[in-house]
Chains A and B, each alone.
Chain A
Amino acid sequence: MLGLAKGLGYTFKKLTEKKITHFYPDVPFPMPPRFRGIQHFSPEKCIVCNQCARICPTECIQLTGKPHPDPDKKGKLIDTYDINFELCILCDLCTEVCPTEAIVMTNNFELAAYSRDELYKNLKWLDDNNTNVREEN
């Protein structure tokens, strides 16, 4: 009987206590610094080495390069760069393998969409995804 009263007293005290609910969709949720979010891609750094596409365990990265417009310079320039977020598991391997840090992780994670087509992110979208970029990659 005493335990019952004790329990009731405990819950009653909790009634007025500060709530721990985080107002997530209204207030953005701060992610820890090493969080693996949607990649940011900077085309000017990319050397078209193809390593990210090869390391990717789900083969969700597709890229094409074009020859450098200046014939005196060596190497290629990136032409198209697509990540299919239907497949991407945000495993961080592409950013780890990238020698020039052209592809880095951000802390953004909101990918919900009404259509599957919207999950194919192209070079422009990944370039514009430049907020909350992770500090260490």
Chain B
Amino acid sequence: MSTLLQQAPSLGNTIWFILAAVVLLAVLLGFVTYAIYFERKVIGWMQLRIGPNRVGPLGLLQTVADVTKLLLKEDTRPLHADKALFTLAPILAYAPAFAVLAVMPFTESIQFADLGIGLLYYIALSGITVLGVITAGWASNNKYSLIGGLRSAAQMISYEVPLVMSVVGIVLMTGSMNLREIVEAQRDVWNIVPQFIGFVVFIVAAQAELNRTPFDLPEAESELVAGYHVEYSGFRFAMFMLAEYVYMFGMGTLITILFLGGWLPIHPALSFIPGIIWFVLKFSLYVFFQFWLRATMPRMRVDQLMSFAWKVLLPVALFNILLTAVVISYQNGMF
């Protein structure tokens, strides 16, 4: 697949590019559809309910029905909204979420682009989503959406720092930012063991990056109506929802690759099971953890949010870098 990128551009391989992107998009839409279904099911079960069960067998078509409803709704725009930005915001929020998947190695062979700085690419692009959120909050010309958008911006920028710092340990250990090399370096032991502190910081910061419970302040239903997307309806709202879940897909793949050994089996003896199945298993575990957390945790308070990022997560992440550096120097015989 990566050989396609090195060929001279022609009509033939352009069509291949488009086709591959469409296939990925279809996989994503399928994932989002059933992620929402399982989210509602799992949370329902944990609250002693049964979750959606009316539309289709076992409620499997519930999300399809919801999305159909969403697409049939009137596409409203507030009278005094900034027309251009209002239209741009959902695209700005969704496009990076989809673009980060280009560097993800799902197995040895399934990867769109093998960048030397894959990790940096992910972190850089995922920062753009914040811009989409602020734009949406500003362009709607609504105080709730503005508060939601700014809260979201503050939160996502603050938590991006510990997120990046927590993966520096892995970069130190591997000596590379290439995601494929990071997975290959985990042949003996997955990064979750030597980088456990980094893993914990990453999980917490990722949760805040995704705006999910317990860090779902930007869309806190009970205080901000819905946050930055109050004024959005129909297709544009669907784009924001999609961006949120695609981002969850991206974060799930990233965690699987960085900490859980990507497509590598638990034990070399189990390598007869294809890599993609291992990948999907680890990935689903993370996605389930998300839903589990959402069913368990209440929302964090705003005044605790920032101090938690800067006073707890960041020092811990920095300590982790220091510790990793010391251990690596010791192994290289510097002391």
What is the interface of chain A, defined by CB distance below 8 A to chain B? 4, 7-8, 10-12, 14-21
- Quick check: is B299 within 8 A (CB to CB) of the other chain? no
Contact B296 A7 (CB under 8 A): yes
Partner of B48, one of A4, A7, A19: A19
Query: Which residues of B279-304 have CB atoms within 8 Å of chain A's CB atoms?
Result: 292-293, 295-297
- A8-B292, A21-B50 are known contacts. Are A15 and B297 too (CB-CB below 8 A)? no
Contact A11 B292 (CB under 8 A): yes
Give the number of chain B interface residues (Cβ < 8 Å): 12
Report A38 CB to chain B, min CB distance, Å: 27
Report B291 CB to chain A, min CB distance, Å: 10
Q: Of B49, B50, B296, which is in contact with the most chain A CB atoms at under 10 Å from its CB?
A: B296
**Additional A-B contact list (20), CB under 8 Å, known A8-B292, A15-B42:** A4-B296, A4-B297, A7-B296, A7-B297, A8-B293, A10-B296, A11-B292, A11-B295, A11-B296, A12-B292, A14-B45, A14-B46, A14-B48, A15-B46, A17-B48, A18-B48, A19-B49, A19-B50, A20-B48, A21-B49
Query: Which residues of B43-65 have CB atoms within 8 Å of chain A's CB atoms?
Result: 45-50
Contact A14 B297 (CB under 8 A): no
Q: Is chain B's interface secondary structure helix, strand, loop, or mixed overall?
A: helix
Chain B residues with CB under 8 A of A10: 296
Chain A residues with CB under 8 A of B297: 4, 7
In the bound assembly, the distance between CA atoms of A20 and B296 in angstroms comes to 19
Q: Which 3 interchain pairs have the tightest Cβ spacing? A: A11-B296, A11-B46, A7-B296
Report B297 CB to chain A, min CB distance, Å: 7
In the bound assembly, the distance between CA atoms of A7 and B298 in angstroms comes to 11
Partner of A19, one of B45, B292, B296: B45
Contact B47 A14 (CB under 8 A): yes
